[in-house]
Amino acid sequence: MTVAQAVVEYLSKQYTVDSIGGQDFRERLIPGTFGIFGHGNVAGVGQALKQYQQLDQTIMPYYQGRNEQAQAHQAVGYARHTRRRQTFAISTSIGPGSSNLLTGAALATTNRLPVLLLPSDTFATRAADPVLQQLERPEAYDITVNDAFRPLSKFFDRVSRPEQLFSAFHHGLRVLTDPAETGAVTISLPQDVQAEALDVPEEFLAEREWRIRRPDADDEDIRRAAEAIRAAKRPLIIAGGGVLYAYANEELAKFVELTGIPVGNTQAGVGVLPWDHKFSLGAIGSTGTTAANAIAAEADLIIGIGTRYEDFTTASRTAFQNPDVKFININVAAIDAYKHGTSLPIVADARKALVKLNQALGGYRIGADLEQRIANEKTRWNATVDAAFDTRFTPLPAQNEIIGATSRAMDAQDVVICAAGSLPGDLHKMWRVRDPFGYHVEYAYSCMGYEIPGGLGVKRAALAEAAKGGAQRDVVVMVGDGSYLMMHTELVTAVAERIKLIVVLIQNHGYASIGSLSESLGSQRFGTQYRALDEEHHSFDDGDRLPVDLALNAESLGVKVIRIEPGEKVIAELEQAIRDAKAAPERGGPIVIHVESDPLLDAPSSESWWDVPVSQVSELDSTKQAFQTYADHKSRQRKLLG
């Protein structure tokens, strides 16, 4: 058989095996392959997929896509919803087809989510040299565009000879299924090698199980952690995505109900507790709630569970102002457990560590004063969100009102999707999550354009979940016009497969997030509005709004579109439109709901900060004022968290 045929059959036989609380799971690791075929893979992986489709379509289902980067985003969305037990493979042609995957690789690795990338490469034999779309480096002739994947991948290999196939895929899948190491796994396949024949050992094509390793916590680490918790007066938990990937949310609920320790969550950690849980403070950090940030400022012990502590979480190391604050970091990845000079790193699975801590902390509970403070701060923040969601009866609503309407129209088990712009921050602080799978915001890489393909990947996973008797979930993508324009083409994929993806498209005529950021930094929203060029001043800031009709654009792709016209009833009509979309047939295709908003109406303040440097000298008064504010915040920044 050819190398490509061996790859396809091999991938069809790989399974992840997992055990959670005595319950065993066995899932097919690669349930399908995406591919756009050109020279490089058309006669290799493309031929193999076609051959197996004719022999038995269940061996390796093939899915089309319109952009290689978007295919990677679909795989990542699928992987996150399946809690990293499954992902897709993506095959590309050489040159631009391969390099289109680079952003997808960076996103997957940054988010610690598995995706298998199979970019084609130039001839290993160099029989035809240079080929069309080949990058030539005169000082290093063995470098191709695929070498750009090396710093973006958790594993990279190039199969330059057919015999290398076996070790490349064995080690690649080892990384793909390792919770501590996972990310983009890239195996470069030269176009001539893909089509070359070899004898394949039967054991290579036999079924193989990859057990997800969930390391237990060291007993001495647990003893020291319990001792530190017992000594703390104002402890706080920061829960990240690792809690969800470890299926530790139920154990976390037991822990907080036993101890009374409150929980603030990262973007990836939304859903670890329902929003109205007594000890849930909601989002923490730069896009956090005032409740979580107020408690964090006074905390003397931070218990990080499954978080990588990016700068939004720590408010750029200003969130924790108690001079005696200490950190316990529980994480399956050592890099995150040891991050920021933590005093007690625990390298372990989140659920297993919590089980041991629950056993070790019998009788401990926070003081009544802290419990009352938690209740007061939650009440204050909930009132703030209620006011933000309240309809103002203006022709153009605030984004807050749109979020409130979307939340009210969705069921508890439905999933909201977002990634970039002002929406992720607003959703993080205000979205009232009710289900552990109900919130999916890609904010580790904050990649514009992720929303629609990522949402499509989540919907694929949700359909597979429902087919196995699981929850019936609608997937609602919330996306601004800037991110929509980056990568809306996967709507065509949803049309082709009749996948019901609900898209709330918010038109605000520019980049709302960086516009607000620019204004706060003294740069007056420069270059952030969609305006016609004022040629006299060479400015895009003051010209006429562009006559772009994104609703018509979506209609031209074959999508059903519901237009919400500006007016006093816009929020009520939006809420009804989402309910109507939810009631549409499951295999009826995507639905886009178009609504305009006022980008100058901000979300409630998090009473926090994010470190984005401001020019130290300037001719602009606005920049001078912004720098003084920046310097004031900078004075509160800690060098290490400790």
The CA distances from residue 576 to 427, 475, 554, in Å, are 20, 16, 20
Q: What is the dihedral of CA 378, 380, 386, 388, to 10 degrees?
A: -120
Label residue 60 by pLDDT band (50, 70, 90).
very high
Q: What is the pLDDT of residue 390?
A: 94
Q: Determine the Cα–Cα distance for residues 254 and 249; give it in Å rounded to an integer.
A: 9
Structure tokens at 54: 């004719």
Residue 91 DSSP code: E
In this structure, how many other beta carbons lie within 10 angstroms of the beta carbon of residue 568?
Answer: 12
Average pLDDT over residues 393-400: 91
Percent of the chain with pLDDT over 90: 85
Among residues 498, 440, 527, the alpha carbon closest in space to that of 81 is found at 440
Taking the CA atoms of 214, 216, 221 and 226 in sequence, report the sign of the dihedral they define.
positive
Structure tokens at 553: 């654009």
Q: Determine the Cα–Cα distance for residues 235 and 219; give it in Å rounded to an integer.
A: 21
Residue 560 DSSP code: E
Model confidence pLDDT, tens digit, residues 226-278: 999 999 999 999 999 999 999 999 999 999 999 999 999 999 999 999 999 99
Q: What is the pLDDT of residue 571?
A: 96
Q: Residue 156 forms beta bridges with which residues?
A: 186
Is residue 241 a contact partner of residue 265, using CB atoms and an 8 Å limit? no
Element (H, E) at 35: strand 33-35
Average pLDDT over residues 109-114: 98
Residue 158 DSSP code: E
Model confidence pLDDT, tens digit, residues 112-139: 999 999 999 999 999 999 999 999 999 9
Model confidence pLDDT, tens digit, residues 490-540: 999 999 999 999 999 999 887 777 777 777 777 877 877 888 888 888 888
Q: Which of 411-415, 557-561, 627-631, 638-642 has the lowest mean pLDDT?
A: 638-642
Among residues 495, 512, 399, 408, the alpha carbon closest in space to that of 452 is found at 495
Q: Determine the Cα–Cα distance for residues 444 and 304; give it in Å rounded to an integer.
A: 17
Q: Determine the Cα–Cα distance for residues 180 and 572; give it in Å rounded to an integer.
A: 45
Q: What is the pLDDT of residue 280?
A: 98
Q: Determine the Cα–Cα distance for residues 22 and 447; give it in Å rounded to an integer.
A: 37
Taking the CA atoms of 345, 349, 354 and 357 in sequence, report the sign of the dihedral they define.
negative
Among residues 45, 102, 94, 39, the alpha carbon closest in space to that of 69 is found at 102
What is the secondary structure of 243-294 as a DSSP string?
Answer: HHHTT-HHHHHHHHHHH---EEE-STTTTSS-TT-TTEEEE-STT--HHHHH
Percent of the chain with pLDDT over 70: 100
Structure tokens at 277: 């849980």
Q: What is the pLDDT of residue 415?
A: 98
In this structure, how many other beta carbons lie within 10 angstroms of the beta carbon of residue 145?
Answer: 20
Q: Is residue 218 classed exposed, middle or buried when 0-12, 13-18 and 19+ CB atoms within 10 A define those classes?
A: middle
Q: What is the pLDDT of residue 514?
A: 73
Q: Is residue 166 classed exposed, middle or buried when 0-12, 13-18 and 19+ CB atoms within 10 A define those classes?
A: middle
Q: What is the pLDDT of residue 42?
A: 95
Residue 520 DSSP code: H
Is residue 593 a contact partner of residue 581, using CB atoms and an 8 Å limit? yes
Label residue 365 by pLDDT band (50, 70, 90).
very high
Q: What is the pLDDT of residue 395?
A: 87
Q: Determine the Cα–Cα distance for residues 497 and 311; give it in Å rounded to an integer.
A: 39
The CA distances from residue 538 to 292, 381, 534, 545, 581, in Å, are 45, 44, 5, 15, 43
Does the 219-381 domain belong in CATH 3.40.50.1220? Answer: yes
Label residue 473 by pLDDT band (50, 70, 90).
very high
Domain extents in the chain: 3-211, 219-381, 390-509+546-596
Q: Determine the Cα–Cα distance for residues 392 and 398; give it in Å rounded to an integer.
A: 9
Average pLDDT over residues 11-36: 96
Q: At residue 279, what is the residue type? A: F
Structure tokens at 237: 């938990």
Q: What is the pLDDT of residue 486?
A: 93
Same fold, 219-381 and 390-509+546-596: yes
Is residue 415 a contact partner of residue 458, using CB atoms and an 8 Å limit? yes
Q: Residue 552 in 3-state DSSP?
A: helix
Q: Determine the Cα–Cα distance for residues 213 and 243; give it in Å rounded to an integer.
A: 15
Average pLDDT over residues 382-394: 93
Residue 328 DSSP code: E
Structure tokens at 322: 């108690």
Is residue 87 a contact partner of residue 32, using CB atoms and an 8 Å limit? no
Q: What is the pLDDT of residue 161?
A: 97
Element (H, E) at 347: strand 344-347
Is residue 537 a contact partner of residue 567, using CB atoms and an 8 Å limit? no
Angle at alpha carbon of residue 585, lines to 579 and 590, rounded to 5°: 75
Give residue 86's Cα distance to chain centre: 15
Q: What is the dihedral of CA 22, 25, 26, 32, to 10 degrees?
A: -160
Among residues 498, 455, 510, the alpha carbon closest in space to that of 477 is found at 455
Q: Which fold has domain 390-509+546-596?
A: Rossmann fold (3.40.50)
Structure tokens at 105: 């690789």
Model confidence pLDDT, tens digit, residues 553-591: 999 999 999 999 999 899 999 999 999 999 999 999 999
Average pLDDT over residues 156-180: 98
Average pLDDT over residues 64-89: 97
Q: Residue 20 in 3-state DSSP?
A: strand
Average pLDDT over residues 45-53: 96
Phi, psi (rounded to 5 degrees) for 86: -140, 155
Largest interatomic CA distance in the chain: 77
Quick one: CATH architecture of 3-211?
3-Layer(aba) Sandwich (3.40)
Pairing of strands 415-418, 301-305: unpaired
Model confidence pLDDT, tens digit, residues 307-341: 999 999 999 999 999 999 999 999 999 999 999 88
Q: Residue 593 forms beta bridges with which residues?
A: 504, 562
Q: Is residue 149 classed exposed, middle or buried when 0-12, 13-18 and 19+ CB atoms within 10 A define those classes?
A: buried
Q: Determine the Cα–Cα distance for residues 467 and 82; give it in Å rounded to an integer.
A: 14
Give yes or no for residue 642 having a pLDDT over 80: no
Mean pLDDT of the chain, nearest integer: 95
Per-state percent for the chain, helix, strand, coil, to nearest 5: 40, 15, 45
Q: What is the pLDDT of residue 544?
A: 85
Residue 445 DSSP code: S
Q: Residue 99 in 3-state DSSP?
A: helix
Q: At residue 427, what is the residue type? A: L
639 vs 186, which has greater pLDDT?
A: 186
